[in-house]
Amino acid sequence: MKENRGNPLQLTSLNHISLVCRSVQESIDFYQNILGFVPVRRPGSLSFDGAWLFNCGIGIHLLQSEEEGKLPEKREINPKDNHISFQCESMSAVEKSLTEMGINYVRQRVEEGGIYVDQLFFHDPDGFMVEICNCDNLPVIPLAGETVRACSRLNSLRAIQHQQQIQVVQP
């Protein structure tokens, strides 16, 4: 096993993801109206069609496909496929909204030590998978004595509390 080197690149957060689209406008509509992202100014030096959106502390950069026919077709919704995941406040509200908007989704539940995480998976207009979850329920616990920064303060607090419980139990 390779030696763990901590954070050699001094990463601080996820900045953005880039997605190649069949139609930038259709994808803008989806990310703006379904996920609540806001279009933001894009550098004028970019000489190709695209759009930048921002929300939840991250950006989504949409890039117009140069070869539309080469984009993969939508497949069956598969939670084990590539996806981006967003934490939500209310899974029931998300599920109700997706149903009202006619968006097909797959529901899953993960359990670990009596803690449950609910997940909803669906596709964007180009077949890229999106997950909405209450993943904050599950503490982020390092496999070794490493320190990790969780997605939220709540999850970080749970991880610290869990680590303290382990230290108390161990002789």
How crowded is residue 83: how many other Cβ atoms within 10 Å of its Cβ? 17
* Residue 170 maps to a domain: no
Which residues are within 8 A (CB) of 64 and not within 5 positions of it... i.e. 6 or more apart?
Answer: 20, 21, 23, 24, 48, 49, 50
Q: Which domain holds residue 60?
A: 14-66
pLDDT higher than threshold 90 for residue 21: yes
Same domain, residue pair 97 and 49: no
Name the active-site residue from 3, 67, 111, 131.
Answer: 131
> Helix, strand, coil: what percent of the chain each, to 5?
25, 30, 45
Catalytic annotation on 26? no
Residue 82 in any domain: the answer is yes
The chain-wide mean pLDDT, for the chain, equals 86
Q: How many domains does the chain have?
A: 2
Reported as a single tens digit per residue, the pLDDT across 67-90 is 866 777 778 999 999 999 999 999
Model confidence pLDDT, tens digit, residues 111-155: 988 999 999 999 999 999 999 999 998 888 878 766 655 555 555
Domain check: are 44 and 20 in the same one? yes
Looking at the fold, whether 132 and 80 belong to one and the same domain comes out as yes
